[in-house]
Amino acid sequence: MYLDQLGFVRGVKFGVRKRLRTPSAKVFEAVASYIDVKEYSRKSRTHVNKLETSENITLCKKVSKSAVAKSEQPNLTRRNQINEQNPESGTNINPKGASVTTTRLINRIWGEYYSNFVSRESKRDNGPATRKRKACRDKTEGEKDVKISKQKKYGSDDMWMPYCPFRKKRSGCRRKTRWDGEAIGVTSNGSALYEGVFISGSLVSIGSVVLVEKTHLNRDSSICFVEYMFEASNERKIVHGRVMVGGFETVLGNNANKRELCLTNDCIDFEPSEVIESLVVKMKQTPWGYQHRKDNEDNDIDERERAEERRMKGLATEYFCRTLYCPEKGAFFSLKTGLMGLGSGYCHSCNARVSHEKNDFTVCTSMKSFTYQGVQYNVLDFLYLSPQYLMENQEGKKTVLNGQHQKPKAYVVCQLLGLEVSCSLKQSSPESVKIKVQRFFRPEDISAQNAYVSDIQEIYYSKKIESVPVMAVEGRCEVRKKEDFEFMDSPYIYEHTFFCQFIYDVENQSLELLPSHFKLSSSKGSLGQKAAGRKTKKKQMITKGGSAKTTNGGKEKAAINALTTLDIFAGCGGLSEGLEKSGVSVTKWAIESEETAAESFKLNHPDAITIVNDCNMVLRDIMMANGDANDCIPTSEVHSLASKHDNKEIKHMPRPGEVDLIIGGPPCQAQ
């Protein structure tokens, strides 16, 4: 917790949240008596140490009782007042939060992170020795800056040995290489394929993993999985490999195992003489599913023990690879080992890339359609365009001062009217071919007031025609009139569908209602006729009781595709309600420690199972009930409170594999 320069403690409300007067000496004395103040000045209100959560609660109570004005006390003591109003209940309806319960994995990650922080803090000393060390440090600061910059670029030595930038450089002489045996086949270009190559007496074969002196991703070296090797027409020996990256270079960061490698779809060709060394890498197939979790954990333990044993014996580090990493998606996929290291001149990654490039851009000979990034677009289709290609949205060229936030702009909705090809179809590209589009405007394009009062899916029709390159296209969408938009059945098709009921006059900057006879046409036919057909069909499906089957069918479809959700810190259920209305999730379980908020949640979500308790105790009980006691690390406080807890509620809580989505907060959001 800090003392804010505006005169209030962050996390503790002193009345309304606005600029307040400077706290009196009594207020500061009350705060200072419960925290370790390093330094304080009446003028600057400087640094005050952080507090743990439990200390924050104590501080709030002490300050509210001793130093806060009477007009400000209700906001601080409301919880105590509520509890005092229920003396007969014998229970605290707003219990104090328990200490966190963790799994061993989370405990280890937190422990490593905070141990580094504590070790740095413990080394601080304000004595003469520190000043002497500082003087010595200033003399060598230039040399250390170079070393630190390299460590940031490559990672520290103990994290990633193959990428160590301080490796001794080889001499300039080229190493001798020779093929292992005779050719085993030929590539599609007629080049001879080989099974292995000797590099200064060491054999590198197909399926090996090597460290190559090849620049990739701003590194001086790369790790490659050998797919195949061949002899080029000029008798050069070439190895084709797929690049591998360390787990810490992915979205996992330092949470990844320092010996884990991930395969990528990036490929490079290199000569055998560029190989620095061979690496010991084990390709693993990890079964997916909660039922395999314990077996996978046992295998990981055995693997760590084997790695430690190799280290003690002085053997080379054994790395492992179990996933394909796609950085553009931030996703990991199972390895297709059956398509790896075939040695036949076939590379699955290159083949997929070539297939994608073939379908990347083509123009139909009739000039009525084109294919871009695997999607076919026809004349009269509605498109998303990148805003940077339209004149009205060139605000990015303006100078942005430091501290100012430049908001990203939404895609511009347009209708495709035709193509403009200035060269032959064979030479056409997304940069050279232009498309003629009719522009639609969003409310925020007109004014902030329009954006505030309009629906997020509303757009305005206009007669403005634009010409942009094909590379501006970002996707496809649908546009309908307002009366047609209301008859859509499922919430899922709202995502890329917009409605229009106004015409925007660009010259006069005015809005007018669309004429009743106006029709929006698309490549699939008249949208008005389709809407009328849906309306007639809906009327025919209305039962005698007056209920429409289409509505129930839409809900049933949503329930089938929605994610089963557990809401933690559920509050009154505002976040759950929003996700359910969007069709994303169905809330089946909720945990809330505040009894009054939990009662509201039950009213908003009557079909959900709501538990009024601390989530740390619930997690402990669920793990104990499912045989995960060895993986659970609760505090003694949680143990003591859990022993008094009614286990009947735990029987209704989800089991491993039943939850698709976990959400949390904001706790105070009500309906």
Question: What's the 3-state SS for 585-645?
Answer: EEEEEEEECCHHHHHHHHHHCCCCEEEECCHHHHHHHHHHHCCCHHHEECCHHHHHHHCCC
Residue 134 in tokens:
């500082």
Residue 533 in tokens:
């057909």
Verify cis geometry, omega within 30 degrees of 0, for the bond prior to 666: yes
Q: What is the pLDDT of residue 328?
A: 84
Task: Kindly report the CATH number that applies to the domain delimited by 362-391+410-540.
Answer: 2.30.30.490
**Phi, psi angle pair for 550, to nearest 5°:** -65, -35
Q: Report how far residue 291's alpha carbon sits from residue 642's, in angstroms, rounded to the nearest whole number.
A: 27
Do 177-354 and 562-664 fold alike per CATH? no
Q: What is the pLDDT of residue 342?
A: 92
Closest CA to 468 of 439, 506, 428, 440: 439
- Residue type present at position 474: E
Residue 606 in tokens:
């009557």
pLDDT < 70 positions in the chain: 1-98, 116-174, 217, 357-359, 391-406, 486-494, 523-560, 642-647, 665-671
Which CATH superfamily, name and number, covers 562-664? Vaccinia Virus protein VP39 (3.40.50.150)
Contact 180, 216 (CB under 8 A): no
Eight-state DSSP code of residue 472: G
To the nearest 10°, report the CA torsion of 205, 208, 209, 214. 30
Strand runs (DSSP E) across 49-109, as ranges? 102-103
Contact 500, 478 (CB under 8 A): no
Contact 221, 162 (CB under 8 A): yes
Burial of 42 (0-12, 13-18, 19+ CB in 10 A): exposed
Catalytic residue of the set 326, 500, 572, 668:
668
Contact 211, 225 (CB under 8 A): no
Q: Report how far residue 420's alpha carbon sits from residue 428's, in angstroms, rounded to the nearest whole number.
A: 11
For 407, the 3-state DSSP assignment is: coil
Q: What is the pLDDT of residue 106?
A: 81
Which letter, b or e, does each residue of 82-116 get, where b requires 16 or more Cβ atoms within 10 Å of its Cβ?
eeeeeeeeeeebebeebbbbbeeeeeeeeeeeeee
For 123, the 3-state DSSP assignment is: coil
CA angle 255, 261, 267 (to 5 degrees): 130
The residues facing 210 across adjacent strands are 224, 278
Residue 224 is a catalytic residue? no
Q: What is the pLDDT of residue 526?
A: 54
**Domain boundaries, given as residue ranges, for the chain:** 1-91, 177-354, 362-391+410-540, 562-664
- Beta carbons within 10 angstroms of residue 351's beta carbon: 11
Q: What is the pLDDT of residue 413?
A: 96
Question: H helices of 340-423, where?
Answer: 348-358
- Beta carbons within 10 angstroms of residue 403's beta carbon: 5
Topology (CATH level 3) of domain 177-354: SH3 type barrels. (2.30.30)
Pairing of β 510-513 and β 318-326? unpaired
Closest CA to 331 of 284, 263, 266: 263
How many Cα neighbours within 13 Å face the side chain of 529? Answer: 5
Q: Report how far residue 146's alpha carbon sits from residue 165's, in angstroms, rounded to the nearest whole number.
A: 11
Q: Report how far residue 548's alpha carbon sits from residue 267's, in angstroms, rounded to the nearest whole number.
A: 56
Eight-state DSSP code of residue 96: P
pTM equals 0.58
Question: Locate tokens 């594999």: which residue?
Answer: 657
